[in-house]
Amino acid sequence: MSRLTLLSLQVLVAVVALALWQFFATVPVFGKILLPPFFFSNPVDVFSEIVKWFSTGVIWKHLVITLWESILAFVIGSAAGILVGFWFARQPRVAAVFDPYVKMVNALPRVVLAPIFALWFGLGVWSKVALGVTLVFFIVFFNVYQGVKEVSTTVLDNGRMLGMSERQLMRHVYWPSALSWMFSSLHTSVGFAVVGAVVGEYLGAAAGLGYLIQQAEGVFDVAGVFAGMFVLSAFVILIDMAVTVVEKRLLVWRPTAVVRE
């Protein structure tokens, strides 16, 4: 399947879904609207709301703030997850000592932490970043840890037999092995970084996409809520595309998956 064909099918799925939504929200079926506009709005109204936001410039301030919070959460959480994941994988005793505490902290509901972070860091950017970091860190940490642990013992033995130092093993064996796991987690982490920022804004902020959605929800503006969700979705896709570009540059040695007919 060519890339153009795949893209066409993906767009077709979105078009069909939006068309069905518009149909069931505006056309009576057996004398009844299946998706009442008061609760579900419709794609035309949602798109109009998005156009209004961008044409009037209302969205830019909120978008920049959420973007900044998400990028900070993504970068800090990913960097910490990579470093700690490598450290734990290379230090089994340290990993064994801290294992129950890592699992305990990971089990904490993040929504409960949001008010605590707001109390510690205030209602500014850093309380949202902290919440995003707690979501991103553990996803990256567990994947990097597992990626380093999964290194083939045969490859390690061959490297040592060729006289590789620990630094060379780290660069040429451990790091490439962990990269696939790491980027797999980074694609997931993009969404969670945005979720952390938006949830933090939703619970307490004066700007940001989460604040915009919360304001629309407060006046029962369903179109505004869905508009904010669509902007967030497009926002996440763009960041994920940037991660994909970096992934292709760093994983040039990995075979490209072929999508068969």
pLDDT at 86 over 80: yes
Report d(CA 182, CA 77) in Å as an integer: 12
Q: What is the pLDDT of residues 90-118, one digit of tens each?
A: 888 888 898 888 888 888 887 788 888 88
User: Do the Cβ atoms of 118 and 226 come closer than 8 Å?
Assistant: no
Task: Compute the average pLDDT of residues 142-167.
Answer: 75
**Is this prediction's pTM over 0.95?**
no
Least confident of 79-83, 235-239, 257-261: 257-261
**Which pLDDT belongs to residue 32?**
87
pLDDT at 184: 76
Q: Provide the H-helix boundaries in the chain.
A: 3-26, 37-40, 43-56, 58-90, 92-106, 110-121, 125-149, 153-161, 166-169, 175-203, 209-218, 222-250
Q: Strand, coil or helix: what is 249? A: helix
* ∠ CA 198-204-207, rounded to 5°: 65
The string of pLDDT tens digits covering residues 12-54 is 998 999 999 999 888 888 888 888 888 888 899 999 998 998 8
Element holding 172 (H helix, E strand): none
* pLDDT tens track for 162-221: 777 777 777 777 777 777 777 777 778 888 888 888 888 887 777 888 888 888 888 888
Structure tokens given for 65: 């703030």
Q: Burial level of 6, CB count in 10 A (0-12/13-18/19+)? A: exposed
